[in-house]
Amino acid sequence: MDQVTLGIIGYGGIAKNYHIPAIAQIPEAKMLAVADMDEGKAKDCAETYDIPDVYTDYRRIMDRDDIDAIILLTRCDTHVEIVSAAAETGKHVFMQKPFAMNSEDGQKIVDMAKEGNIRVVTSFMHRYMDETVKAGELIRDGAIGKVRMIRQRNCTFNSYETAVRLWGAVQDIGPHGIDLIRFFANEKFAKVATMMDPFVSGITPNTDGPDGRAVDMVSVMNYEMTGQVLVSHEVFWDQAGGQGRFMSEIYGSEGALFVRPMFTDKSVAVVKQGKPTEFPDLDETPFGVRHHQVFINDILNDTYESASPEEGFEVLRVIEANYESAVEGGAPVVV
């Protein structure tokens, strides 16, 4: 095999602005079909990227023997159904975060991936950006010594109505930060303690979300990792300060590393007491290409560099633990 054939399922904003343009730049990937319930969207995708076949039913893609993998870009409440169909037909899956709606569904996906012998990769896009790849390399090389503390921030400027549609800030943008924390710390999560705006003292939780669930806009989460790295993770859905989507501060025994810092236009900075701040050069890649290239390479070379189903499930479990803690007023919850 020297090329991976793909079926695209879902052509919304993230597909249009990130995933599909990146995949189109990978010679080893060939998109053969696109499916969307909105036929107009599917046709738009097909015409823009010269994709031969258009469907409104994703099962038409599953029926095809000439498609190796699917790029699943629908909401997470569809994941169990579609991954089940992929596992039955032996198609690998690259899908949007979060992994699933809840850990019960998440465990089903993990099991289906094993039983169907397919790869199920969650799209933790921030892990593959030039600056985070460089930061990871520096940490592994000991540039700041042993990691002791991490501060992670994830922000967007979106409406409350959008948060309702996506089940809240932690559910939607939280997975990116949770995955980055694990990537930088190189440890698993042990315990969480969380405060969220719907559950702080004196505020009556809104219940606009599906099934009457409260919708969070602001969350401050504290984590203890298995190796005792301590973490502060902040999520702000409708911030108006113009901050980028994420910022990371990693503090070690011999210095600190900043990813997308506000004090410079550089993407990575290494700070050590008494020494000039260093701004390492990055290996620059087109937006999103590295992320999707890793998935394609894994299939071609039988490697495992992409996020595993177990990693996707771990992030989902941390999300759930955060909500459990917030409901209990910030009481610690073991992950």
pLDDT the model gives residue 14: 94
What is the residue type of 118?
I
Average pLDDT over every residue of 164-170: 91
Which among 88, 122, 156 is the end of a domain?
A: 122
320 and 230 together in one domain: yes
Task: Examine the pLDDT at 1 and tell me if it is beyond 80.
Answer: no
Alpha-carbon separation of residue 225 from 94, 149, 192, 283 (angstroms): 27, 10, 9, 30
Tokens of 72: 């699943």
Note whether 265 and 184 are within 8 A (CB). Answer: no
Average pLDDT over every residue of 166-186: 96
Q: What pTM was estimated for this model as a whole?
A: 0.95
Q: Does residue 309 sit within a domain?
A: no
For residue 266, list its beta bridge partners: none
Which among 122, 141, 168 is the end of a domain?
A: 122
Note whether 301 and 4 are within 8 A (CB). Answer: no
From 52, 139, 59, select the one nearest 70 (Cα to Cα): 59
Q: Report d(CA 200, CA 209) in Å as an integer.
A: 18
324 and 224 together in one domain: yes
Confidence of residue 128 (pLDDT cuts 50, 70, 90): very high
Mind listing the pLDDT tens digit for each residue in 77-104?
999 999 999 999 999 999 999 999 999 9
Note whether 155 and 245 are within 8 A (CB). Answer: yes
Which among 122, 155, 185 is the end of a domain?
A: 122
Tally of structural domains, the chain: 2
What is the residue type of 280?
P
Alpha-carbon separation of residue 252 from 137, 181, 230, 234, 272 (angstroms): 14, 14, 11, 20, 10
Question: Can you give the residue range of the structural domain that contains 85?
Answer: 4-122
78 and 139 together in one domain: no
102 and 176 together in one domain: no
Task: Examine the pLDDT at 211 and tell me if it is beyond 90.
Answer: no
Note whether 238 and 160 are within 8 A (CB). Answer: yes
111 and 136 together in one domain: no
Note whether 326 and 214 are within 8 A (CB). Answer: no
CATH number at residue 20: 3.40.50.720
Q: Which residues contact 276 (CB under 8 A, 6 or more apart)?
A: none
Q: Does residue 304 sit within a domain?
A: no
Mind listing the pLDDT tens digit for each residue in 282-298?
999 999 999 999 999 99
| Count of beta carbons in the 10 Å neighbourhood of residue 329 | 12
Number of H helices, E strands in the chain: 12, 14
